[in-house]
Amino acid sequence: MLFAQDIGIDLGTANTIVYLKGKGIVLREPTVVAVNEKANPPSVVAVGNEAKDMIGRTPGSISAVKPLKDGVIINSEITSDMLKEFIKKVINKTPFVRARVLICVPSGITEVERKAVHDAARDAGAKYASLIHKPLAAAIGVGLPVTEAVGSMIVDIGGGTTEVAVISYRDIVTAKSSRIAGDDFDDAIIEYIRKKHNVLIGERTAEELKIKIGSAMSYDGEGAMDVRGRNLVDGLPKNIEVTSEDVREAISEPISQIIDAIRSTLEKTPPELLSDIVDNGIMLTGGGALLRELDKLIEEKTKIPVHVAPYPMDCVATGMGVCLEKGNI
């Protein structure tokens, strides 16, 4: 027997989070797919955590692929296959034919990009798919008064995009979707170490540096990490020490671009709503909100209080969950 399931999917560049109506968040895994390139056609070998563990460690025939870049789908077929596998995990192999899916998208995507997301959900087996803008879902998830005629500002820093939006009375008043986000922090760290030490490190190492010792401003208890990369002079492994200051310097440019996006959005905000934001502050969500001292730096640059949401990585999925539980799909 087939029966309906209502599912919310926060399909992010770095991570995918799935909310199942009546159960809450049931899956949180990297948006990564391991593909066997020798198969005809190429076949999916693993998805999520299992696929991420293969990055940089697979034979030539197996490649670890990120099917989204800058918040949009770049490989529709692989995205559909990944969604199928994730959905199988969360609904225990129950037939998915009648599932209804709510899926989030960046506020700045084109109609073509929206269609790619919709088609990927349908190809994965959804009977019905609807889309919600990521900053609106994040605002609902964190409990901002989105149904009132009050200005709220949300800054959602994901892996591929940073969504800056002012929301009032159930809609986005003004927004900016910047394709500078957490993945750009990682790329900047890789490039900085290449230039400073002539050593190439991998994506996983860069992400680990960002999480363990990264910050937007100096902080008490700063440290350093020993990392291993490939010496670009002789091609041999080389150990180097990377400090918190190194990481901060490396990511300063992408952080500046995110702050510019916030300022630009504030400049376009109607005065009455701007006054609300000054009173209530800016809310940070997404994985990027976890970067140490980022809230303090944004507050210093904008002169507006900044708050980091509790569980910032879950806000979008939680917001979709609120919509699902109320039947708004």
Looking at residue 304, which CATH number applies to its domain? 3.30.420.40
C-alpha 46, offset from chain centre: 21
**Partners of residue 239 on adjacent β-strands:** 228
Kindly state whether residues 40 and 175 are assigned to the same domain: no
Would residue 84 count as lying in a domain? no
pLDDT of residue 300: 98
Kindly state whether residues 216 and 305 are assigned to the same domain: no
Kindly state whether residues 269 and 303 are assigned to the same domain: yes
pLDDT of residue 40: 84
Kindly state whether residues 212 and 299 are assigned to the same domain: no
Kindly state whether residues 187 and 238 are assigned to the same domain: yes
Helical pair 134-142 and 315-325, crossing angle rounded to 10 deg: 80
Tokens matching residue 157: 């820093």
CB proximity list for 21: less than 8 A, separation 6 or greater: 5, 6, 7, 8, 321, 324, 325
pLDDT of residue 126: 85
pLDDT of residue 5: 83
pLDDT of residue 1: 41
Kindly state whether residues 48 and 171 are assigned to the same domain: no
Dist. CA 7–CA 230, nearest whole Å: 43
Kindly state whether residues 175 and 56 are assigned to the same domain: no
pLDDT of residue 98: 63
pLDDT of residue 194: 98
Helix (H) or strand (E) holding 213: helix 203-213
C-alpha 35, offset from chain centre: 22
Answer whether 0.85 is exceeded by the pTM. yes
pLDDT of residue 59: 79
pLDDT tens digits for the chain (329 residues)? 445 689 999 999 999 999 999 999 999 999 999 999 888 888 899 999 999 888 777 777 898 889 999 999 999 999 999 998 998 888 765 544 567 899 999 998 899 999 999 999 988 888 889 999 999 999 999 999 999 999 999 999 999 999 999 999 999 999 999 999 999 999 999 999 999 999 999 999 999 999 999 999 999 999 999 999 999 999 999 999 999 999 999 999 999 999 999 999 999 999 999 999 999 999 999 999 999 999 999 999 999 999 999 999 999 999 999 999 987 76
pLDDT of residue 329: 64
Would residue 134 count as lying in a domain? no
Kindly state whether residues 190 and 241 are assigned to the same domain: yes
* 278, 256 Cβ separation under 8 angstroms: no
pLDDT of residue 57: 79
Task: Provide the residue range defining the domain that includes 263.
Answer: 149-180+253-310
* CATH code for the domain of 229: 3.90.640.10
> Degrees (nearest 5) of the Cα angle 168, 135, 107?
100
Kindly state whether residues 242 and 300 are assigned to the same domain: no
If one counts the domains in the chain, the total is 3
Half-sphere exposure of 177 (CA within 13 A, CB side): 17
Dist. CA 262–CA 297, nearest whole Å: 12
